[in-house]
Each structure stands twice: as C-alpha cells, then as structure tokens.
Amino acid sequence: MRTFNAILYIMILAFSTACQTSRSVSNSTPISSGAKSKAIAKIIQITEDNICNPYWLEDTTWTNFVASIQSEEAQAMPWLSFIKHFNRAAKQLPFTHFYLYPVKPASTKKKAQPPFELISVTPQIAQLKVRSFAANASGMIQLIEQIKAKGYTKLIIDLRNNTGGTLDAAVVLGQFLRSESIDAGLYLSRRWFAENKEYPSAEALAQFPFLQDFTFAGFGKMLSKEKGFRMVIPAHQRATFKGDVVVLINRHTASTCEPLVHLLQQEKQATLIGEKTAGAMLSGRYFGINKEAKLFLPIADYMTGDGLRIDKIGVRPDVEVPADEALDYTVDTFFQQ
C-alpha cells in the first residue's frame, strides 16, 4: 500500500481535461484590450520558458496558434469566450495537456456517478466500469475483493470515456491483473531537449536513473535535476485474476489509462476492444496568469517502457468496433468464440 499511496503524488498530473474544457459556461465581463494583450504575452512567455520540449514550438502549428490568440477577434472576447477559443485552437498543436482554465470554474448540478462500479453481466462475466482514475484507491480495492469472492471467470474492464487521473487506483488494478513488475515508463524533462533534438534510443532507455523518492517533492526534484528518469512498480505475490480479460476503450480513453492498456496489450494479458484511445499522455502543471485564468502545460514528455510515445498517437485496439457496440460484441461474440 505504501507504493500505491506514493504513486498518487508522483505520477502524471496528466489527467485528460477534454470533459472540463467543454463545460457550458456564461461569458464574463470583457476587460481592456491592453490587459488581455498583456495576459496573452504572459501565456506565450511561460510556455516558451517551461514547456518540456521547445522543439514543438518550431512547428508551424504553434505560429498559427499564436496568431489565433493574438487576433483582434480574440482580443475582444470576454475571458470565458477567450478560454474556449484558446482550448479549441490548442487541439491543433503537436502536443496535449495545454489548456487554459477559468480560475473560478462554472458550477454544475449534474449528479456525479461513482468512479468505480462493478456489474454482474452473467454469473461468469463481470464488468468493471472505471469512469475515472481521479479517486482514492480504496474503492477499487473493495471491488477487486468482490470480483475474487464471486469467482468470475471473465472480466471486462470498461475504460470508455475515462479521461485519466492519478495512478493510485490504476496501479491497484494493474497489480490485480499481473504479479510481475510494471514498467511505468520514462519521463523526459526540458534538460533532455536542451541537449537533444531526438528522443532516446531503445538502448539509451536503460541508462536513465530510476526514481527512488516516491513523493511529490522527490518527483519534482528528479525532474529538475535529471534529463529523464524511469519508474518501475515492483512485482508482488498477491492473488491476481486468472480468467479472460477484455478492456473496452474509445477516443476519450486518455492519460493514465493509456500506459496501462498499452502494457496489457504488449504483455498479452488483455484484449483491447473498441476504438483507438485519445493519445493524451504527458505530465503537466498549472501556472497562474491573472485573476481570470490559469494555464496548464506539459513539463515532462512521456515514453512507454518499450520506447514508444503515446501523446497525439494513442493505442489501437486489438478488435476495432464502434465504442457503443463494444460491450455487446464482447459478451455476445468475443467471449463465445
């Protein structure tokens, strides 16, 4: 459990935010064009000084993006309209985890669904719906104990529309599926790209140091002094699921989900069914802009343990079917083969 709790502080703040940026919000009061221009200049400067890979900003899409947010039309927008404009334009960039947020987000009256839910499809088949990993791992542990107690022989892990979170619950789930060590991948800091334009080779991956201090401060210290570092979650001897495993994914399956499904696919410990994942896997943090907005940008790039990038690429399913048909296909066709 110490490993589980430590992971909460050190892994990607990289939860996908597509669902948050699309909220319905009312417009704020317009501010002076001079103040807006100053704020935009601050956004650009913070990005240029802190983004993990400055070579991304040499792409023409960055030039077009800057022109878009500096346009007269954008300058005249109320702040909440400008935030929407910013986030739409940012989708064209060659990296994710770059968003502008209102300091005071709009409230919502929509009833929240539980992050984890266990459904008995049949006496042999369980569906574990994981709506988000941004929750305490205790709920995941309770459902795993129920899966063990009920003796299911087939498990459907439903990650459709799961935009990420922390790795606390994800590690618990991962270790229920495999007893071997989990290579959680490589994080590359700006220091790496200050000396290298290319990504490290497969051979070079083994030369990076391993993270030792599993605290938030330890992660930040390692990121500030090293070009990159690896993270490996140790093997264990607890009981694991021995039946057939299917993971349902779609275009909104993002961030924390993606290294997990990639690993399960590569190790042939699960079959992925549905659509390609979002391709949104970086590590970022917030920067204050003014009383209206804050900026979230990537400060560490990410590669899988076998040297692949997921950001803007995603993970392809083993069996491609429309996302809304994936569950029925799994139960009625795949498990019947």
What is the domain range of residue 235?
Answer: 113-280+308-336
SS3 at position 329: helix
| Angle, helices 79-90/60-69, rounded to nearest 10 degrees | 170
Least confident span in 118-122, 237-241, 281-285:
281-285
Q: Is residue 35 part of a domain?
A: no
Q: Is residue 230 part of a domain?
A: yes
DSSP helix, strand, coil percent of the chain (3-state; round to 5): 40, 20, 40
Per residue in 146-157, pLDDT tens? Answer: 999 999 999 999
Prediction pTM value: 0.85
Q: Is residue 89 part of a domain?
A: no
Q: How many domains does the chain have?
A: 1
For residues 278 and 251, is the Cβ–Cβ distance under 8 A?
yes
Q: Is residue 71 part of a domain?
A: no
Mean pLDDT of 65-89: 96
* Residue 301, beta-bridge partner list: 188
Per residue in 16-64, pLDDT tens? Answer: 433 443 333 334 445 456 889 999 999 999 999 999 999 999 999 999 9
Q: Is residue 143 part of a domain?
A: yes
**Tokens read off for 46:** 């913070």
Per residue in 272-321, pLDDT tens? Answer: 999 999 999 999 899 999 999 999 999 999 999 999 999 999 999 999 99
Q: Is residue 253 part of a domain?
A: yes
Say which CATH number the domain at 165 has.
3.90.226.10
Q: Is residue 27 part of a domain?
A: no
Radius of gyration from C-alpha coordinates of the chain: 21
Higher per-residue confidence, 256 vs 67: 67
Please write down the HEC assignment for all residues of 99-165: EEEECCCCCCCCCCCCCEEEEECCCCEEEEEECCECCCHHHHHHHHHHHHHHCCCEEEEECCCCCCE
Q: Is residue 23 part of a domain?
A: no
SS3 at position 255: coil
DSSP 324: G
